[in-house]
Amino acid sequence: MALPVAFFALFFAWPVAAIVTRGLKVDGVWRLGRILDVVTQPDIRHVLWFTTWQALASTALTLLLALPAAYVFARLDFPGRQLLRAVVTVPFVLPTVVAGSAFLALVGHNGLLDELWGVRLDTTVWAILLAHVFFNYAVVVRTVGGLWSQLDPRQVEAARMLGASPSAAWRKVTLPALAPAVAAAALMVFLFTFTSFGVVQILGGPTFSTLEVEIYRQTTDVFDLSTAAVLTLLQFAAVGAILAVHAWTVRRRETALRLVDPNTTARRPRGAGQWALLAGVLGTVALLLVLPLAVLVRRSFESPGLGSYRALTDADGGTFLVAPVTAVWTSLQYAVAATAIAVVIGGLAAAALARRDAGRLVRSFDALLMLPLGVSAVTVGFGFLIALDEPPLDLRQSWILVPLAQALVGAPFVVRTMLPVLRAVDARLREAAAVLGASPWRVWREVDLPMVRRALLVAAGFAFAVSLGEFGATVFIARPDNPTLPVAVARLLSRPGEVNYGQAMALSTILMVVCAAALLVLERLRTDRTGEF
């Protein structure tokens, strides 16, 4: 418990405190009255309103479209299931900038729909909502589907034998068991869309602006750090409140579940209903997730003779000191380090939180741990830059700075993924191990770890993907000679010209391939290790 607390105090609380001080304190005097001034501005009120309702709408739409997919991936067995599961996860780890451009290419001016039918969505809120679904589809599928595939089907069979209709069995047995996972997924989606940055920046145009975009605008365009700090505080408070409510509701609903081997629960689809469901999910995935990526890949190959890819290996492109392709290696190294940190910190925190006798103080840490997700990544990056550049902790020159920031963003994913499964482990199994002479550490290793290894791998995969695609914080602290993939993409996109755009598309495609490969390896790993030793 001490390690996660120290980590978050040092690398989260302190930088945030620094930026708030920088923003609110003028000439050594606190000016708290600014908060009221800012909130009462009509355009800020408009931003707050839009941020909230688009997040709610995005969450509802994502749940509507992704919950059937969670069922399909958990319970139906069909050829290509593993591959498709990885495909679904890829959008989640793509840099928001790239996804934004991909949707622009699909539904924007001169986009695919425009070419075919003259349909344009980039001036409506639908482009933003669809892009949010594109990103968060995987959150619901993996969080809910992961638990769903481990629910014992015999529970439903028992309910059916007691006279429950299929829909009654679903409502009374399956849904209550899934509720914590659905709540966790919905919370994540809401947080991501509430703090959405890249997507809104590109697809929102001048009409639509979220809190995050506004913070960025105030910081970089208007140089009004004070207003930016106030907005950060507002976001902080809103997110903190949501998380507190969530932690409270989840604690009430999580029960010890009978988890079974997920490989035994999937069946071939039976009946018209299941086939229709499968077809519907596959159609949604094809239209919403694959099509934008296909457009992206096509663009990367548009210049003749793989020109965009060849250009990546040239160091003298002018944009960077090194060849853009080195960003691939840099990104991988950073992501591995960040994953290790996130898994250790998040795993320890989840283990402490899962204890039934955890005190109120520890449990409130649950909500606290989620804060880095809600606070804008831009704030984290900027906070790192101004807080960790002077003694006693001068990390400006250290390579570890980027993985630390990425781990900060990744650790909450680890906690979220691990906690429901850890809480579902029967406490008496741990007691049985303790009585047989296992120290608390051995109990964790011998009892918890084998049961949650799956969840741990999923969590590590998530942390890795998040680190690989992390943009908002990294863009502030990555050194110019060592850009990560998303940073390189953004820098290329910010420059005019077909060559730069082509290179950005090519790098994005590489990032996509790396993520897909990493996820496929993970999927293999998950299914191969069924035995204990």
Partner 1 sequence: MLLSLDAATVRFGGRAVLDGVGLEVVEHEVVCVLGPSGSGKSTLLRAVAGLQPLHSGRVLLDGRDQAGVPAHKRGVGLMFQDHQLFPQRDVGANVAFGLRMRGVGKGERDGEVGKLLELVGLPGAARRAVAGLSGGEQQRVALARALAPRPRILMLDEPLGQLDRSLRERLVVELRELFGRLGTTVLAVTHDQGEAFALADRVVVMRDGRIAQTGTPLEVWQRPADAFVARFLGFDNVAGATVAGAAADSPWGKLPVPDGSAQGNRTVLVRPAGVRLRPADQGLPCTVTARTFKGTHVSVLLQPEDAPRLEAACALRDAPEAGATVGVEFDAAEIVVLD
Stated length of the chain:
533
Residue 450 binding partner 1, by CB under 8 A? yes
Of 264 and 494, CB closest to partner 1:
264
**For residues 258-276, b (16+ Cβ closer than 10 Å) or e, as one string?**
ebeebeebbeebeeeebee
Of 205 and 450, CB closest to partner 1:
450
Contact set for partner 1, span 175-214 (CB under 8 A): none
Residue 255 binding partner 1, by CB under 8 A? no
DSSP collapsed to 3 states, 421-434:
HHHCCCHHHHHHHH
Residue 437 binding partner 1, by CB under 8 A? yes
**CB 421, CB 452: distance < 8 Å:** yes
Stretch that binds partner 1, among 12-20, 309-317, 431-439, 516-524 (CB under 8 A): 431-439
Of 114 and 426, CB closest to partner 1:
426
Residue 426 binding partner 1, by CB under 8 A? yes
The residue from 432, 513, 517, 521 that contacts partner 1 (CB under 8 A) is 432
- Give the shortest CB-458-to-partner 1 separation in angstroms: 17
Stretch that binds partner 1, among 94-102, 324-332, 425-433, 496-504 (CB under 8 A): 425-433
Q: What is the DSSP string of 433-497?
A: HHHTT--HHHHIIIIIHHHHHHHHHHHHHHHHHHHHH--TTHHHHS-TTS--HHHHHHHHHTS-S
Residue 451 binding partner 1, by CB under 8 A? yes
The residue from 225, 429, 457, 525 that contacts partner 1 (CB under 8 A) is 429
Stretch that binds partner 1, among 41-49, 309-317, 325-333, 447-455 (CB under 8 A): 447-455
Q: Which burial class, exposed, middle or buried, applies to 29 when counting CB atoms under 10 A from its CB (0-12, 13-18, 19+)? A: exposed
Angle at 362 between CA 18 and CA 8, to 5 degrees: 25
Residue 351 binding partner 1, by CB under 8 A? no
Q: Say how far residue 15 (Cα) sits from the centre of its chain.
A: 21
- Give the shortest CB-431-to-partner 1 separation in angstroms: 5
Of 268 and 428, CB closest to partner 1:
428
The residue from 57, 344, 438, 516 that contacts partner 1 (CB under 8 A) is 438
Identify each DSSP E strand in 307-391 by its residue range: 389-390
**CB 100, CB 199: distance < 8 Å:** yes
Q: How far apart are CA 380 and CA 12, in angstroms?
A: 7
Q: Nearest Cα to 146, choosing from 173, 176, 184?
A: 184
Q: Nearest Cα to 7, choosing from 335, 415, 358, 420?
A: 415
Tokens at 342, concatenated: 């996130």
Residue 433 binding partner 1, by CB under 8 A? yes
The residue from 171, 396, 442, 524 that contacts partner 1 (CB under 8 A) is 442
- Give the shortest CB-437-to-partner 1 separation in angstroms: 4
Residue 446 binding partner 1, by CB under 8 A? yes
Residue 36 binding partner 1, by CB under 8 A? no
- Give the shortest CB-33-to-partner 1 separation in angstroms: 47
Q: Say how far residue 390 (Cα) sits from the centre of its chain.
A: 31
- Give the shortest CB-427-to-partner 1 separation in angstroms: 10
Residue 322 binding partner 1, by CB under 8 A? no
**For residues 99-119, b (16+ Cβ closer than 10 Å) or e, as one string?**
bbbbbbbbbbeebbbbeeeee
Of 332 and 457, CB closest to partner 1:
457
- Give the shortest CB-336-to-partner 1 separation in angstroms: 28
Contact set for partner 1, span 403-422 (CB under 8 A): none
Q: Nearest Cα to 81, choosing from 529, 523, 509, 530?
A: 523
Size of the site for partner 1 (CB under 8 A): 22
Tokens 């709408």 — which residue?
57
- Give the shortest CB-425-to-partner 1 separation in angstroms: 10
Residue 435 binding partner 1, by CB under 8 A? yes
The residue from 428, 496, 497, 528 that contacts partner 1 (CB under 8 A) is 428
Tokens 């919370």 — which residue?
187
Of 290 and 429, CB closest to partner 1:
429
Q: How far apart are CA 269 and CA 277, in angstroms?
A: 9
Of 153 and 307, CB closest to partner 1:
153
Residue 532 binding partner 1, by CB under 8 A? yes
CA atoms within 13 A on the CB side of 497: 10
The residue from 431, 494, 498, 517 that contacts partner 1 (CB under 8 A) is 431
Helices 81-93, 498-528: axis angle to 10 degrees equals 130
Q: How far apart are CA 207 and CA 201, in angstroms?
A: 10
Of 85 and 430, CB closest to partner 1:
430
Residues binding partner 1 (CB under 8 A): 426, 428-429, 431-440, 442-443, 446-447, 450-451, 531-533
